[in-house]
Amino acid sequence: MGKYYLNYLDELESEAIFILREVWAQFQNPVILFSGGKDSILITHLAKKAFYPSKIPFALMHVDTGHNFPETIKFRDDLVTELNARLIVGLVQESIDEGRVTEEKGKNATRNALQITTLLDAIEEHKIDCAIGGGRRDEEKARAKERFFSHRDDFGQWDPKNQRPELWNIFNGKYQEGEHFRAFPISNFTEMDVWNYIKRENIAIPSLYLAHQREVVWRSNSWIPNSEFLVLEKDEEILTKKIRFRTLGDITITGGIESEADTLEKIVQEVSSMRQTERGNRTDDKRSETAMEDRKKQGYF
């Protein structure tokens, strides 16, 4: 008799594939929210497996803040070509130009919160009824409350007090006109699981995750990369350090860490000994105790 149980990575993979297929079966026009970060890359990889030998049936949707790492955009375009997938881009710059959102000012200005409007506009414009995201419950305390199938009202809002109960493996994706869903197939992956899985499957990731010599400035307790959007304060100086990023967001707010991890093996090693959470270097989460919850209630993914 063989071994009739799955190890935890296989079980997480199987669960995610099941959910991706449920999304495809229950919705008319679902897309993958693709940011070029490791979680959305992982989702895309799992979608490839879920529908093989068919091509991946979802369009990739990128909410582009305009403040990107150039490598992220190249990675995105290469992947779209490889998959022969459709790419939908929602531009935050357009939302600003149209006067639908107002850009923040000051040293810590970011376009992070502005994404919400652009995302909801794109969902409406393209009649998207389910946006698949790479959110994980271990990331943040508000995310820990997230369902696999997360209902959003016609303003795109999440109501943590009124979530649909989710029982067994039966997912209810019914919605009223104007409402939509977010789906989170890798909810049960932790950061460590993601890296172990990426390593096991040898999934290509942007080189930003690997340690390289980079120009950075020390700000808000982390190394913020030098870019055309960076406004240097008087007491700040640009240094060159061996840096890698644990998460990728806007180039203006993504803090890197000093690291020697320049291979997937070394990343797995490093992450397993980390004493700080992954989002500890995201200044957007440091704004208040409930920053993520507040953004999610407004429609953030």
Partner 1 sequence: MEITNNQLLRFTTAGSVDDGKSTLIGRLLYDSKSIFEDQLEAIENTSKQKGHEGVDLALFTDGLRDEREQGITIDVAYRYFTTPKRKFIIADTPGHIQYTRNMVTGASTANAAIILVDARHGVIEQTKRHAFIASLLRIPHVIVCINKMDLVDFKEVVYNTILKQFEEFSSKLLITDIRFIPISALLGDNVVHRSEHMPWYQGGPLLHTLETMHISSDINKVDARFPVQTVLRPQREGFLDYRGYAGRMASGILRTGDEITVMPSGFTSVIKSIGGPSGEINEAFAPMSVAITLEDDIDISRGDMIVRSKNQPEGLQDIEVMLCWLHNDSAKPRAKYSIRHTSNEQKAMIKEVIYKIDINTLARKADDSQIDMNDICKVRIRTTKPLMVDSYRENRVTGSIILVDDGTHETVAAGMIV
Q: Taking Cα atoms as reference points, which of 37, 88, 82, 83 lies closest to residue 63?
A: 88
Residue 132 engages partner 1 in binding (rule: CB under 8 A): no
- Residue 229 is classified by DSSP as T
Of residues 73 and 192, the one with the C-beta less far from partner 1? 192
Q: How far apart are CA 90 and CA 299, in angstroms?
A: 15
2 touching partner 1, by CB under 8 A:
yes
Q: Is there binding between residue 18 and partner 1 (CB under 8 A)? A: yes
Output b/e per residue, 95-106; b: 16+ Cβ within 10 A.
Answer: bbeeeebeeeee
Among 28-36, 210-218, 229-237, 275-283, the segment contacting partner 1 (CB under 8 A): 275-283
Stretch that binds partner 1, among 28-36, 44-52, 121-129, 244-252 (CB under 8 A): 44-52
**DSSP class of 233:** P
Number of residues binding to partner 1, judged by CB under 8 A: 62
Strand arrangement of the beta sheet that strand 59-64 belongs to: 87-91, 59-64, 30-33, 130-132, 180-183, 149-152
Asked if residue 220 binds partner 1 (CB under 8 A), the reply is no
Rounded to the nearest 5 degrees, what angle is found at the Cα of 234, between the Cα atoms of 70 and 258? 50
Which of these segments, 35-43, 106-114, 189-197, 226-234, binds partner 1 (CB under 8 A)?
A: 189-197
Closest separation in Å from C-beta 60 to partner 1: 19
Among 86, 98, 144, 239, the residue binding partner 1 under the rule CB under 8 A is 144
Contact residue for partner 1 among 99, 102, 127, 161 (CB under 8 A): 161
Question: Is the separation of the CB atoms in 223 and 242 below 8 Å?
Answer: no
Closest CA to 36 of 254, 267, 259, 265: 254
**Binder to partner 1 among 102, 105, 106, 165 (CB under 8 A)?**
165
Site for partner 1, rule CB under 8 A: 2, 4-15, 17-18, 21-22, 24-25, 49-55, 137-138, 140-142, 144-145, 160-161, 163-170, 172, 174-176, 187-188, 190, 192-193, 272, 274-277, 280, 289-290, 293-294
